[in-house]
Structure 1
Amino acid sequence: MMNRIAFLAFVIVMALLPVLPTPEFWITLANYIGLYAIVALGLVLLTGVAGLTSFGQAAFVGLGAYATAWLGTQFGVSPWLGLLAGLAITAIAALTIGAITMRLSGHYLPLGTIAWGLSLFFLFGNLDFLGKYDGINGIPPITLFGHDMNSGREMFYLIWFVVIVAVIALANLLNSRPGRAIRALRGGGVMAEAMGVNTAWMKVASFVIAALLASISGWLYAHLQRAVNPTPFGLNQGIEYLFMAVIGGAGHLWGAVLGATVLTILKDQLQTVLPRLLGANGNFETIVFGLLMVLLLQRAREGLWPYVRRLFPQRPQAVAPEAAPALKKRAQPEPGGVVLQVDRARKQFGGLVAVNDMQFEVRSGEIMGLIGPNGAGKSTMFNLVTGVLPVTSGEIRFASDGALRRIDRMPSRSIVRLGIARTFQHVRLMPGMTVLENVAIGAHLRGSHGDVAGLATGILRLNRAEEDALLFEAKTQLERVGLGHMLYEEAGSLALGQQRILEIARALCCDPTLLLLDEPAAGLRYKEKVALAELLRKLRAEGMSILLVEHDMDFVMNLTDRLVVMEFGTKIAEGLPEEVRQSPAVLEAYLGGID
């Protein structure tokens, strides 16, 4: 988001443009830039932020345009009611299509968006009541405060008002609890689900918001043109919308406006200049346009906005308050009680047995180590406990509300809600987000609003009390692990050891009773390992249970209360560190060099 002075200057310039003796052609061009920018903003959210590529947004523009056009011409319905009807139709269509399409991954997702985009395009052109390929003419103008907006100059303010409101609304959303969850989608669903995010819902929600923005653009387009036909709602235009988001800077809201401006002006100039140079026979502008896009993408992979952004002083979007009401914390179980019970858990991948009838317990207020050679199945065991992988057979139980209950059939987001939090063997962070924001993702389930209400309050910025509490909790946990001085650094700029500590802070934000740490000391220097061991002992003293995988045997032997040793997915030893150290089976399999 640009700073306030630059934003105010932009608003003033746009407000003066129609009242100055600006040529009508430039007003028309600015109107189309605004219409395109509204769609591109949705694609920034969907593609640039959430990482879900869509080529079919032009079809949603068509839904908004045709809904108001048909109702206005056939029944004399007010354009404002036509807007509501278009949004309702688009929401239903997007929910239906998104529930199916957003489950796809890899190259199947963009192919799926092409398929439904083409389907809606041909639907517009083959329905008699929509005028087939001739479309609908004579659409009434929008009336505002009793005045008909009959010209492009009059529509200018409404179009750009929508653009600015959309930018502000999306900025509010992205700097909120659900917005951080949407941003976490780009890092893969495993981390987000482990922090309690319903990734399937967040994908569909992002898709619907992007579709609604496209529908609003279609509504404005219909009343600006006063006629619609299927041509502007085809696949080619859908690709151009995506180009606008990518060229401007797919991860930046103002990049959508910049991308729409650059591509619209560039296309117009090419269509004017090239026929004079090369003749009117042939679509040379399309060829040159394509070459310029390839060159631009090679030279500016992150888009143009990051270069423009350097001109403005930047400040963190999420800032932790000095004080805030404390979030509710769960009570720790009584010391010595069983908090995790693994009962003959087995995981097979085809004929490969990765975890072979594992059986062990973790008690309240203890640190247990899970050790073994590389490939022994330790991380797979972690994934079974946290719901990342389903067990093939056996049971896993966790103490919740005073009783052991099965969790092996639960998804990750339900398991973390019960009080199990984890880190990962390979660090899973959002490198472009600040340290504070990364850790705040861990507090996702501790927000005071549900999924739908959270989106609404985030967009309308009615969530300040919740945000203050979540960010203050994230700040507290970072100070707890010794990273309080790096709140506003980008997570990707941290050393690997610091990133691992950051993951522990994020897990602590989940308010767990059982903490699973996958190689937490990897990449840490000696003093950092000492500080980590002190932190884990402090957590144990507070009643937290810890299960950790680690290859640094000095670290493990001096920290843990009990050890479980795995080899080829099977438990070969369990007991106190000294007992395990002297076990012949362990010495043969793993610890031959330790005495």
Structure 2
Amino acid sequence: MSARTRWFIAFAALLALLPVLPVPEFWITQLNYIGLNAIVSLGLVLLTGVAGLTSFGQAAFVGIGAYTAATLAVNVGLSPWLTLFIGLGITVLVALVLAAVTLRMSGHYLPLATIAWALSLYYTMSNMEMLGKYDGILGVPALTLFGTSLGSGRSYFYVIWVIALLAALAVIHLLDSRTGRAIRALKGGTTMAEAMGISTYRYKVQIFVLAAMLASVSGWLFAHFQRTVNPSPFSLSKGIEYLFMAVLGGVGHVWGAFTGAALVKLTEDQLKDWLPRLIGTSGNYEVIVFGLVLVVVLKYASEGLWPHIERLFARFLPEKRRVRDWADAAPLPERSKPQPGELLLEVDRVRKQFGGLVAVNDVTFQIRAGEIIGLIGPNGAGKSTTFNLISGVLSKTSGRVSFRGEDVSALASREIARRGMSRTFQHVKMLPDMTVLENVALGGYLRSSAGMAQAMLRLDRDEERRLFKEAERQLERIGMKDQMHELAGNLALGPARLMEIARALCTDPALLLLDEPAAGLRHKEKQALAAVLRQLKAEGMSLLLVEHDMDFVMNLTDRIVVMEFGTKLIEGTPAEVQDSPEVRAAYLGTEH
């Protein structure tokens, strides 16, 4: 049992003891509200902290859960436990509709859209006759469990906190999984995730719906705890407060949700008492204080307070290191590989226009299995654009790309990755807060299948061991096994590029595309990279690389395609390219 597990058990045991101790009823009530708020904030940890999607509308989902429970229990007489599942069903339907409308937005449009639908849902609840309009619904029955009424705050305390702690465990399990790594990849942009075969839109929808479900559960608990509901606790201002809790506690950390919920609830009550005495008049002055606190936190503790608390108690907690329990794990499935010399990639008159600018002009070349092909040219020649057209990152204006005999011209990058083409990026794209091993394991996404529910219930452990065994194998293949437990963000540029190659290899590709792999590397790092690429070729790997370093390309490739101003200038062996007057003119200019 790890030290962190022991701390969790001790925390849960302390909570279990509190209601039976002679503590004031006010304490229990406060803890109940903290638990309710923490459940909502957990959803924001996933949605905002991990996936990078800002939402101001979680209070509206709390309202859906609360009003469903109150309406069906009071007006229809349904069992409160049945109303939980009906409320979740309604929440999922509403969340799916809202996700379809809003999640394709980016930048500031997404939070603005969440404000719009949060206001819409709030005013809908406030003006419906069947929901009691602004007066709400009274007389919501207390929960009963095995015939025992949970009408008191002390008995209800256990329901709230069991659900809150189970939700926290489920989120922790989710983040430590294939699905969790895919979700983490959303925050840094979609290009890398899609290139690994991840449907970023599908995961955005899943996380949005999961966060809404957590909020709905909190609303159901709230309705039966308060025994009455009205629109006030589900307004836009409350949605902003939930986001403030998550940011203050640590929006990227599960326990930050609990930290933020506790600090905001306890401080809010104290400020409501102190500020009128200090100022001499009543009003919602605590909002001003919270605004100032948020500015200070964003300035000096942008990750929230939980990371600082964790560092404070670091000496009581051993360094987090994954237990190596995958030595006897079965290998991941492998795709069929092309025979040496087989036509692997055919680029036929590919063209890309941006308005009136022709970036790539009818470029044609082929790659056969077992070759290393270089794509070179001066700055602005169209190399990276061609690279992105082949890998599906950009759509083509015209032309055709065939991979292993299949036309992939119209496919998205994740579908091309599924067929066996993997790539690295000109600027290294990684998840800096995950270990090297976890970053490389992300490459095995398409070779695995466990979903969100399996991860949360911890039913994916066998597949996880297989993924980490493959990730370790690829790191050993490129000489980085000893660094697998380091945080990726701590790597120098050379090892970071090698890690990216290992991640691409973890997809089990038939063709590996490398975008300027030697850029920014020192001489010895380039030598080490060249040795790795030669080893991969010796093992049967086919490679296409874009590169500026002529010595690196000439000593490594079998054939070279030279581009200038978006067109193919020449194709040949390194010796033929070096002897070409056209190439010398393209790089050095002509003498008049």
Q: Does the alignment reach a TM-score above 0.5?
A: yes
Alignment pair present for 1:381 and 2:386 = yes
- Equivalent AA in structure 2 for residue 79 of structure 1: P
Which structure 2 residues correspond to residues 493-508 of structure 1 after superposition, within 5 A? 493-508=490-505
Encode CA deviations 1:185-219: one digit per residue, 9 max, x unaligned: 00100000000000000000000000000000000
**Equivalent residue number for residue 112 of structure 1:** 113
Q: What amino acid sits opposite 2:181 in the alignment?
A: R
- 1:291 CA drift (Å): 1.7
User: In 2, distance between residues paired with 1:275 and 1:224?
Assistant: 29
1:261 paired to 2:262: yes
TM-score for both structures, normalised by structure 2 = 0.97
Query: Residues of 1 paired with 2:488 and 2:58: CA distance?
Result: 32
Corresponding position: 1:177 with 2:178 = yes
Residues 109-132 of structure 1 deviation map (CA, whole Å, 9 limit, x = unaligned): 000111111111011011111111
The correspondence for 1:483, drawn from 472, 480, 490, is: 480
Aligned to 2:341: 336
Counterpart secondary structure, 1:211: helix
Cα distance in 1, alignment partners of residues 460 and 447 from structure 2: 13
Structure 1 residue 470, shift from structure 2 partner: 0.6
Partner of 1:217: 218
RMSD: 1.4
Aligned residue number for residue 122 of structure 2: 121
Give 1:434 deviation, angstroms: 0.9
Question: Alignment partner for residue 577 of structure 1, among 574, 577, 580?
Answer: 574
* Counterpart position of 2:141: 140
* Aligned-residue offset at 1:5: 2.4
Letter in 2 for 1:350: G
- In the other structure, the counterpart of 1:371 is 376
After superposition, give the CA deviation of every residue in 1:338-367 in whole Å (9 maximum; x if it has no partner): 111000000011111111110000111000
Alpha-carbon distance in 1 for matches of 2:3, 2:126 = 41
1:318 CA displacement:
4.7
In the alignment, is residue 550 of structure 1 matched against residue 551 of structure 2? no
Q: Equivalents in 1 of 2:344, 2:478: separation in Å? A: 24
C-alpha change, 1:185 and 1:177, in structure 2 (3 Å) is: same
Q: Residue 465 of structure 1 is aligned with which of 462, 465, 483?
A: 462
Runs of 4+ in 1 over 6 A off after TM superposition: none
1:22 positional shift? 1.0
Name the CA shift for 1:319/1:98 in 2 (closer, same or farther; >3 Å): farther
| 1:532 match | 529
Q: Distance in 2 between matches of 1:441 and 1:306?
A: 25
1:547 partner SS = strand
1:446 aligned partner: 447
Q: Structure 1 pair 333/592, CA: closer, same or farther in 2 (3 Å)?
A: farther
Q: Distance in 1 between matches of 2:458 and 2:321?
A: 13
The reply on whether 1:391 has 2:380 as its aligned counterpart is no
Q: Does structure 2 conserve the Cα–Cα contact (< 8 Å) formed by 1:581 and 1:591?
A: no
Kept in 2: contact 1:175–1:318 (CA 8 A):
no
Contact 2:321/2:485 (8 A) holds in 1: no
Do the aligned partners of residues 319 and 199 (structure 1) sit closer, same or farther apart at CA in structure 2, a change above 3 Å counting? Answer: farther
Larger CA deviation: 272-281 vs 189-198: 272-281
Structure 1: which amino acid aligns with 2:474? Q
The equivalent of 2:153 in structure 1 is: 152
Determine the C-alpha separation between the residues in 2 that align with 1:437 and 1:275: 52
CA separation in 1, counterparts of 2:150 and 2:194?
Answer: 48
* 2:209 matched residue in structure 1: 208
2:248·2:260 contact (CA, 8 Å) conserved in 1? yes
* Letter of the structure 2 residue corresponding to residue 285 of structure 1: E
1:284 deviates by: 2.6
Task: Give the 3-state SS of the residue equivalent to 1:559 in structure 2.
Answer: coil
Alignment coverage as a number of residue pairs: 585
Deviates more, 1:374-383 or 1:2-11: 2-11
Residue 591 of structure 1: CA displacement? 6.2
Deviation at 1:556, TM superposition (A): 0.7
Q: Whole-Å Cα distance in 2 between the matches of residues 95 and 529 of structure 1?
A: 49
Structure 2 SS opposite 1:17: helix
* 1:395 match: secondary structure: strand
- 1: distance between equivalents of 2:152 and 2:184? 39
Q: Distance in 1 between matches of 2:321 and 2:457?
A: 16
Q: Which moved more, 1:531-540 or 1:156-165?
A: 531-540
Q: Secondary structure at the match of 1:150?
A: coil
Map 1:77-116 → 2, pairs under 5 A: 77-116=78-117
Q: Does 1:406 align with 2:411?
A: no
Q: Does 1:230 align with 2:227?
A: no
How far is the alpha carbon of 1:25 from its aligned partner?
0.9
1:358 corresponds to: 363
- Return 284-293 or 381-390, whichever deviates more: 284-293
Alpha-carbon distance in 1 for matches of 2:557, 2:128: 71
> Who is 2:561 aligned against?
564
Q: Do 1:497 and 1:522's aligned partners in 2 also have CA atoms closer than 8 Å? A: no
Question: What's the offset of the Cα at 1:541?
Answer: 2.1
Partner of 1:322: 327
CA contact (8 A) 1:175 1:317 kept: no
Alpha-carbon distance in structure 2 between the residues aligned to 1:323 and 1:181: 25
List gaps (5 residues or longer) in structure 1. none
Measure how far apart 1:532 and its partner are: 1.9
Q: Which amino acid aligns with 2:553?
A: V
CA contact (8 A) 1:316 1:488 kept: no
Instruction: State the shift of 1:246 in Å.
Output: 0.5
Q: CA deviation at 1:475?
A: 1.0
Taking only the aligned residue pairs, the percentage that are identical comes to 61
**Cα 1:102–1:318 shift into 2, 3 Å:** farther
User: Aligned AA for 1:438?
Assistant: N
Q: Is the 8 A contact 1:333 1:543 kept in 2?
A: no
Displacement after TM superposition at 1:334 (Å): 1.2
Deviation at residue 534 of structure 1 after TM alignment? 2.1
- Which shows bigger deviation, 104-113 or 1-10? 1-10
Residue 524 (structure 2) pairs with residue 519 (structure 1): no
Q: Is the Cα–Cα contact under 8 Å of residues 270 and 289 in structure 1 kept in the other structure?
A: no
Letter in 2 for 1:66: Y
| Equivalent-residue separation in structure 2 for 1:477 and 1:81 (angstroms) | 49
Aligned-partner Cα distance in 2 for 1:139–1:466: 45
One-letter code aligned to 2:361: N
Distance 1:294 1:203 in 2: 28
User: Distance in 2 between the 1:235 and 1:262 partners?
Assistant: 20
Render the CA deviation track for 1:113-159: whole Å, top value 9, x for unaligned: 11111111011011111111111111111111111110111110110
1:244 corresponds in structure 2 to: 245
Aligned twin of 2:195: 194
Following superposition, the deviation at residue 412 of structure 1 comes to 0.8
Secondary structure (helix, strand or coil) at the match of 1:114 reads helix
Q: Is the 8 A contact 1:68 1:219 kept in 2?
A: yes
Residue 278 of structure 1: how far off its partner (Å):
1.5
